[in-house]
Amino acid sequence: MPPMADDRPVLVLGGGPAGLMAADVISAAGVRVIVVDAMPSVGRKLLMAGRGGLNLTHSEPVGVFLTRYGAARDWMAGPVGAFAPDAARHFASHLGQETFVGSSGRVFPKAMKASPLLRAWLARLARQGVTVRTRCRVTAIEGADAVTIDTGGASERLEGRAVVLAFGGASWPRLGSDGSWVDMVRARGVGVADLAPFNAGAAIAWSETFASRFAGEPLKRIAIACAGGRVRGEAMVTRGGLEGGAVYQLNREILEEVGRAGKARLEIDLRPDLTFDDLLARLIRPRGKQSVSTWLRKAAALSPVAIGLLREVSPGGLPAAADDLAMLIKGLPLDASGLAGLSRAISTRGGVRLEDIGPDMQLAALPGVFVAGEMIDWDAPTGGYLLQGCFATGVVAGHGVLRHLGVVLATVQAENSQEKQIETERS
């Protein structure tokens, strides 16, 4: 009698976008999968990402797209080549979520929400036989054949044929990615770069007067420059600094400047839509009996928080000369001491070192164990690059598992055999 087929499941540890994508690829090939997650439900960071409109990917050319991954751009060329931005759009479409390209080039589902996509995705995984186990915290990784989980006071050993690690980084720890996996993985001989915040706010020491009055106020239609980089967009004042898309896109420059000089100088253009000369022409008009705040609001169209910023950096009083005031409005200086902490970061940098990962996302130190998503040492700004990176590495890890198990090879051999048969019949 032939030996019985190995029916042990593949264990996917982590139910975020990367883990679910790996589970999708593997289960679609008929391999049993168990997804293990510490939270009461899976996909929580995906739902968080969709609060302001689920930015799935970006429509810019792939060559430009890859530059967004900074030092990891060459490494990310493999996963993004295997699962390109267009593939992410097809993926959403197959789940009943058509997409559109926004004016910024970002790609969103027409529903502008994550929940319909997640519901459809989980339904498909269920049809493919995927088992999801929640409220289960992984406490030990033995290797490709077993992990230990804590199910809420009781310890359980799960056996499998392969393991996919998709724990996430350490951003938004209340959603499940708390970085507790680092010591576990290091203990098995895998190199891990320390986790640090990315896509996080700039830490700025405001005066108590400014912070108490303006925390939570948006700065709209501004431009921020740092170390040669310049971004137009919006930002939000927090008690500890500035956060928002325009700040996140300058995170690399901020970190480099802090590493070089101990601080990063930001220059805020409060009216990027006006040239210096146009602004000056408005400011040289007589103020009359208007208060300074009313005059700046009317002449320069500055919001109360923008005027508050001008006062914050001018403790001795605003410049009296119109050209000096125009220069300040066009280049308001702020010093950032670094980035805000992990609890408010959208993503992290650091993670499993790239040199410890094979082309199939298999760990060199742990054969049969694969890795995907944010827990790998790559980073990217917001704009669709984060989800694309998680989806793409999840796809490659899933195919890597199938190759490891011999499933893909068997499929290819069957397809080749079928093609030869068709050719024979035609001849």
**Residue 236 · residue 216 · CB < 8 Å:** yes
Domain limit, last residue, from 300, 315, 339: 339
User: Looking at the structure, do residues 282 and 369 belong to the same domain, yes or no?
Assistant: no
Q: Are residues 53 and 176 in the same domain?
A: yes
Instruction: Give residue 174's pLDDT band: very low, low, confident or very high (50, 70, 90).
Output: confident
Q: Is the pTM of this model over 0.85?
A: yes
pLDDT reading at 410 higher than 50: no
The verdict on 23 and 166 lying in the same domain is: yes
* Mean pLDDT, residues 141-165: 94
pLDDT at 24 over 70: yes
pLDDT classification of 224: cutoffs 50, 70, 90: very high
User: 45 vs 40, 142, 169, 350, 411, CA distance in Å?
Assistant: 13, 27, 11, 18, 34
Q: Are residues 182 and 44 in the same domain?
A: yes
In a domain, 278, yes or no: yes
The SS3 assignment for 344 reads helix
Q: What pLDDT score does 342 carry? A: 87
Per-residue DSSP letter, 9: P
Alpha helix (H) ranges present in 2-61? 17-28, 44-49
Q: Is residue 423, in this structure, part of any structural domain at all?
A: no
CATH number for the domain that contains residue 352: 3.50.50.60
Tell me: do 233 and 152 sit in the same domain. no
User: According to the model, what pLDDT value does residue 1 have?
Assistant: 35
pLDDT at 426 (0 to 100): 37
- Are 191 and 270 in the same domain? no
Residue 155 shares a structural domain with residue 25: yes
The answer on 359 and 315 residing in a single domain is no
Q: Residue 51 has what pLDDT?
A: 82
Residue 426 gets which letter from DSSP? H
Q: 263 lies in a domain?
A: yes
Give the model confidence (pLDDT) of 281-299 as tens digits: 999 988 888 899 999 999 9
Measured in whole angstroms, the distance separating CA 38 from the mean position of its chain's CA atoms is 20
Q: Is residue 425 part of a domain?
A: no
Q: Which residue has the tokens 């199939």?
A: 360
User: Looking at the structure, do residues 251 and 312 belong to the same domain, yes or no?
Assistant: yes
Quote the domain boundaries for residue 217: 202-339
The reply to whether 422 falls in a domain is no
**Each residue of 43-91: pLDDT tens digit?**
998 998 888 789 999 999 999 999 999 999 999 999 999 999 999 999 9
Residue 73 sits in the same domain as residue 35: yes
Does residue 291 sit in the same domain as residue 257? yes
**Residue 303 belongs to a domain:** yes
Domain boundary among 309, 339, 369: 339
In a domain, 87, yes or no: yes
Distance in angstroms (rounded) separating the CA atoms of residues 292 and 98? 50
Type and span of the H or E element at 143: strand 137-143
Question: How many domains would you assign to the chain?
Answer: 2
181 in the same domain as 94: yes
- Does residue 3 sit within a domain? no
Instruction: Yes or no: say if 78 and 396 are a contact pair by the CB < 8 Å rule.
Output: yes
Of the three residues 339, 360, 378, the one that is the final residue of a domain is: 339
Element (H, E) at 413: helix 407-426
